[in-house]
Structure 1
Amino acid sequence: MPTKRPLIAIVDDDESMREAIKGLLRSMGFDAEAFSSADDFLRFSHIRRTACLVTDINMPGMSGLDLHRRLVALGKSIPTVLITAFPEKNVRASALGAGIVGCLTKPFGEQVLLDCISSALALNSGEESGS
């Protein structure tokens, strides 16, 4: 039976950014699913299989940071990469904590994003082997 590829979820209200990240991740061999809002992601049936979450901080409704906190509160802590077009030092400081593996400012390079996702996946596999 083939091993499942890591599933990366992208949550961003900016369709061009969402689709660009999804295309990049799929070209790198990941399973990638894109969502236009935090609420859409929370209704996703494979939320537990999600190995990494890439989410915009500033979105209508629930922010990316609030989405991460909601998942933690639900017991579904997913290593998260935050992205934003509006970097604020106080947001970055409060964001970098449990489960947040990076905070990238748009536009960012593909390799920077892939490095953050690699860190997230390493975090995930470390948790699985430690349990």
Structure 2
Amino acid sequence: MSKAQIVSIVDDDASVRAAMESLVRSLGFVACVFESADDFLRSPRVDDSACLITDVQMPGMSGLDLQDRLVAQGSRIPIIFITAFPETAIRSRAQAGGALALLEKPFRCGAVVELLRHALAAQPR
């Protein structure tokens, strides 16, 4: 029996966290939600998440700063960014850090499903 893959969700908006958690679980994955990048970094999920979905703009550490921290630590976790402000500089920085995608709010659930399936298909189970 294979172990369910963990998808961590970092967003300061409770409604977005709840919606993403529901979507991820409906696909058969384990969803772990965090209100901030710091909460995620202090958790054991940093080492066992198969994918990370994070907002770009959050109080405290931004999603882009979280990506920088993870890359500096040697993490190769696939990251899907979501943002209401898809500026060119944000997109460029996310891509330079190896982001899987940057989705503009509002986005289609189908886009998230496709990205998760792509990211997790390459991960060990």
Partner of residue 59, structure 2: 60
SS at match of 2:2: coil
Q: Is the 8 Å Cα contact of residues 71 and 97 (structure 2) preserved in structure 1?
A: no
Paired residues, what number?
Answer: 125
Task: Give the whole-Å Cα distance in 2 for the aligned partners of 1:50 and 1:92.
Answer: 23
Task: Give the whole-Å Cα distance in 2 for the aligned partners of 1:33 and 1:6.
Answer: 11
Task: Give the whole-Å Cα distance in 2 for the aligned partners of 1:122 and 1:98.
Answer: 21
TM-score (norm: length of structure 2) = 0.92
What are the within-5 Å matches in structure 2 for residues 2-81 of structure 1? 2-81=1-80
Task: Give the whole-Å Cα distance in 1 for the aligned partners of 2:39 and 2:9.
Answer: 11
The letter for the 2-side match of 1:119 is: H
- In structure 1, runs of 5+ residues without a counterpart are none
Q: Is the 8 Å Cα contact of residues 56 and 64 (structure 2) preserved in structure 1?
A: yes
Q: Is the 8 Å Cα contact of residues 78 and 99 (structure 1) preserved in structure 2?
A: no
Partner of residue 110, structure 2: 111
**How far has the Cα of 1:98 moved from its partner?**
4.5
Identity fraction in percent: 48
TM-score (norm: length of structure 1) = 0.88
Higher mean Cα deviation, 67-76 or 34-43? 67-76
Task: Give the whole-Å Cα distance in 1 for the aligned partners of 2:115 and 2:94.
Answer: 14
**How far has the Cα of 1:122 moved from its partner?**
3.4
Higher relative contact order (CA 8 A, sep 6+): 2
**Runs in 1 of length 4+ with deviation above 4 angstroms?**
none
- In structure 2, runs of 5+ residues without a counterpart are none
Q: Is the 8 Å Cα contact of residues 79 and 101 (structure 1) preserved in structure 2?
A: yes
Q: What is the CA deviation profile of residues 25-83 of structure 1, one whole-angstrom value per residue up to 9, with x for unaligned ones?
A: 10110100000000000011132110000000000011111101101111222110000
